[in-house]
Structure 1
């Protein structure tokens, strides 16, 4: 395929507590590492706050060919910060409330039906905190269970509180439990199209339309994890506002470890499912999902369009990779059991040449659509 000279990128990160500046720093590090791996010279400019959003200009040079990529980082860190602001007890209460609503909406059943590992990912933080609460409760009532003086509860109750506050909460923090509670609360907000989520989507859709006024060889929507739901909602809204927005624009829509079904399986996620159908049927869009078995925090082998009632649409194509092909043996051994770390690997730098690399996709000379046919263990022909 011909090289790309100019690219317009809309990047929707996952549920990481990072603002655009922090995502930019991560991108710079990834670009530096991947540049050495693939023999590319990357130049990543600073974040600029413009009317169309947080913009980063990236340039790559390969065999004298220059590719300019204008990258808009559409983070949702302000919402994450608001979700994490309440005191710990309230975050736990709201987290369990969200979990109950995920179950009653039918979404949890669908997770286990179609991707049991993602179902376990859903249950994990709740089981961890529930176990801690149960142990704390047993400590609190231990004098009664042991049939000793009930006045000893004056000691056992404070001991139970200390056990939970100084033991369970710090231990659960190693697994980002409260952050996962916030993630499920946000999934409900997006799925049910609640005002906070809708306002964010409307704002980003307007910014995307503004940025699309700039000409480019290709347009790339790329999202990671929870960002897939947001990217789909924004793209759908863009097409509601301007049905011809993607016409003759060579648009690629790529999800990395995409978890759009996390939100789309919620019963009231009608508008999100409609956006999925709109994008899947758009003739100017090439949509593909990059998935990895080593990452349990997405719905592996699940076709987003098919499972949301759009099986006749023909998109997206599922493209499978293996992180062991892009990481050194040492790095892979170190991180393969750290599920959150592996889930982030889609957007991090590569140690080895392989079929997929985030910086190569978003700032390299190859058209994004060329990655549809990638083989995980085989680098693109231009970089073999």
Structure 2
């Protein structure tokens, strides 16, 4: 594993005399999030404003439009800086409809599913592996189960108080009160603490791991075809597949399936890189039953034309900070091959002090900073990676502190 501490990037500019734009294809896979594509692209346009202000560039997105099946949304972003320009074909691989379908399930279905998932990950030793690898993620994983249990205890206390009343109706009222109190707590403060959301996310990933989500399997196959399609675009300089949060798992899986569709995918056309941020790869990768995921990751490791860069940070409890996913998943190493390249970053350095102070105590806002606009110049910048004139591999191949005057070609 190549682990890099937070440093600033070197100055990298387009080669002298090059006037043609840097053309990049980006396929983005988000996490277990019910946000509709329209709202996602609204946020993207807003965050591009921070990018423009921070780096002094012009960045113009075209209106986002869906594919015929609505599973892929696409926009083009044209970016111009001092002496360079870049064109990004940005595609969102959407699966928010599956998340909303999970949210629509009644609670009498969702609670048993979450308890079954907890038992599975507990008795398989996976939760213990979380704590050994990254204890902050371990706490994050068990948190919604803890809060749900806490709500059960509070509801049980309320029911017990009713049973102490010497009245014939007490045995009938107590169970109804227990259920009412529990449901109310799951709604508030449960919704504020994302308890149901996180329980559903854990169930979803567990079901997918064990082959119980045919809907997501079909979606990942669809994403694989999109990768093959985008890679065939003439004149493309770079193909970048980005997975955020749970989307990191599907970024790897969809690329491996794309290789199954086109074995020469990484041997012709643009260089292909996978970038995982706020990664949950080890959420499944550490489970004994995740053999398919590990086999697919091994397949990517053996494909020398593909690079995997994983960005980790201490501040985000959702990722596995300072870990080597390949080693912990016990992938077979390849001589002379670093896969993935692990690069440590600091969220604090991405934002102005006032901006960081505003979000530092918001777990999910910090988690999403990986894919939002910086308000301070820093070597990791999501939009500089997606819209700048230098490829991901070249950007992180050298290390040298930049100056405040560095242009966004870094």
TM over 0.5: yes
Which residue of structure 2 lines up, in the alignment, with residue 22 of structure 1? 39
Residue of structure 2 in register with 1:53 after alignment: 72
Quote the Cα distance in structure 1 between the aligned partners of 2:353 and 2:399.
19
2:297 is equivalent to residue 276 of structure 1 = yes
Match of 1:382 in 2: 407
Tell me how far 1:147 sits from its aligned partner. 8.1
* Alignment deviations for residues 25-69 of structure 1 (CA, whole Å, 9 cap, x no partner): 121111111111011110111112236932111110011422111
Residue 394 (structure 2) pairs with residue 370 (structure 1): yes
Q: 1:45 to 1:269 in 2, by over 3 A?
A: same
- CA drift at 1:109: 2.2
Aligned-partner SS, 1:246: helix
From 222, 246, 253, the equivalent of 2:266 is 246
Considering Cα pairs closer than 8 Å and 6+ residues apart, tell me whether 1 or 2 has the greater RCO.
2
Task: Please give the alpha-carbon distance, in whole angstroms, between the structure 1 residues aligned to 2:241 and 2:157.
Answer: 51
Q: Which residue of 2 aligns with 1:227?
A: 247
> Cα gap change, 1:200/1:106 in structure 2, threshold over 3 Å: closer, same or farther?
farther
Give the unaligned 5+ runs of structure 2.
1-11, 15-20
Q: What is the distance in 2 between the residues matched to 1:148 and 1:301?
A: 59
Q: Which moved more, 1:234-243 or 1:45-54?
A: 45-54
| Structure 1 segments (4+ residues) deviating >4 Å | 146-151, 373-381
Alignment partners' CA distance in 2, 1:339 and 1:206: 34
* TM-score normalised according to structure 2 size: 0.87
- Bigger proportion of residues as helix: 1
CA RMSD of aligned residues (A): 2.3
Instruction: Rate the CA distance shift 1:134–1:214 in 2: closer, same or farther, 3 A.
Output: same
Task: Check 1:344–1:162 CA distance in 2 against 1; reply closer, same or farther (3 A cut).
Answer: same
Is 1:92 aligned with 2:117?
no
Is this contact kept in 2: 1:281–1:315, CA < 8 A?
no
User: What pairs with 1:1-384 in structure 2 (closer than 5 Å)?
Assistant: 1=12, 3=14, 5-50=22-67, 53-144=72-163, 146=164, 148=166, 151-194=169-212, 195-215=214-234, 216-248=236-268, 249-310=270-331, 312-313=333-334, 314-373=338-397, 378=402, 381-383=406-408
Aligned mates of 1:64, 1:135 — CA distance in 2: 63
> Structure 2: how far apart are the matches of 1:33 and 1:159?
49
Instruction: Answer whether contact 2:278 2:370 (CA < 8 A) is retained.
Output: yes
**Per-residue CA shift, 1:313-354, capped at 9, x if unaligned?**
421111111111111212212211211111111111111111
Rounded Cα–Cα distance in structure 2 between residues aligned with 1:161 and 1:186: 25
C-alpha distance 217-115 of structure 1, shift in aligned 2 (>3 A): same
Verify the 8 A CA contact 2:186 2:195 in the aligned structure 1. no
**CA deviation after TM superposition for structure 1 residue 379, in Å:** 7.1
State the alpha-carbon separation in 2 of the partners of residues 100 and 165 from structure 1: 22
Shift of 1:295: 0.3
Unaligned runs of 5+ in 1: none
Q: What SS class does the counterpart of residue 74 from structure 2 fall into?
A: strand
202 and 40 in structure 1: CA distance in 2 versus 1, 3 angstrom threshold: same
- The residue number in structure 1 matching 2:18 is none
TM superposition score normalised by structure 1: 0.93
- Report the Cα distance in structure 1 between the residues aligned to 2:403 and 2:374, rounded to whole angstroms: 12
SS of the residue 2:396 aligns to: helix
Q: Distance in 2 between matches of 1:257 and 1:143?
A: 46
Residues 75, 382 of structure 1: CA spacing in aligned structure 2 closer, same or farther, 3 A cutoff? same
